[in-house]
Amino acid sequence: MAGMRRIDNVGGLPLHEDGSAPPLRVNDLIQFLTDRKRSTKCPHCDWKGGWEIAMQDAADNDEEQGETANPCLQIFRTESLCGNLHTSTAVICPNCGHFGQIATYKLRQWKLGKETGDE
């Protein structure tokens, strides 16, 4: 169907986080949202002040690497009826509570493209 694509594990990436890769962090998400030109306006209300990000407590992070200023993202699991597991992270509207999920495999694809790019 035109304009429709099947969700796929493009590039051999799993659709869900399985803990085998370094954790996704807040700075990854912010850079991804910026690169993809994702709006900071809420699609459901008149909020324009940016998103809250689902992040883990600093205590959960690897303080040895001084990463407390860049916390790991909270990862949510969604399982389909046929058993496919997807993971996502989330941005939340501070005004109306709209909870927007972002598939982690898109973040992984983006990171791979970045890491193999011309840096």
Return the residues of window 56-95 that contact Zn ion according to CB under 5 A: 93, 95
SS3 state at 12: helix
Residue 100 interacts with Zn ion (CB under 5 A)? no
Cβ nearer to Zn ion, comparing 40 with 95: 95
Give the separation between CA 81 and CA 86, rounded to whole angstroms: 12
Smallest distance from the beta carbon of 106 to Zn ion, in angstroms? Answer: 22
Interacting span for Zn ion (CB under 5 A) from 8-16, 19-27, 46-54, 105-113? 46-54
Q: In the set 45, 58, 69, 85, which binds Zn ion (CB under 5 A)?
A: 45
Helices (H), 1-119: 26-35, 104-115
Residue 98 interacts with Zn ion (CB under 5 A)? yes
Give the separation between CA 104 and CA 110, rounded to whole angstroms: 10
Interacting span for Zn ion (CB under 5 A) from 8-16, 24-32, 40-48, 70-78? 40-48
Dihedral sign for Cα atoms in the order 84, 18, 119, 11: negative
Q: What are residue 100's phi and psi, to 5 degrees? A: -100, 120
Smallest distance from the beta carbon of 62 to Zn ion, in angstroms? Answer: 33
Give Cα 37 distance to the centre of its chain. 14
Contact residues toward Zn ion (CB under 5 A) are 42, 44-45, 47, 93, 95-96, 98
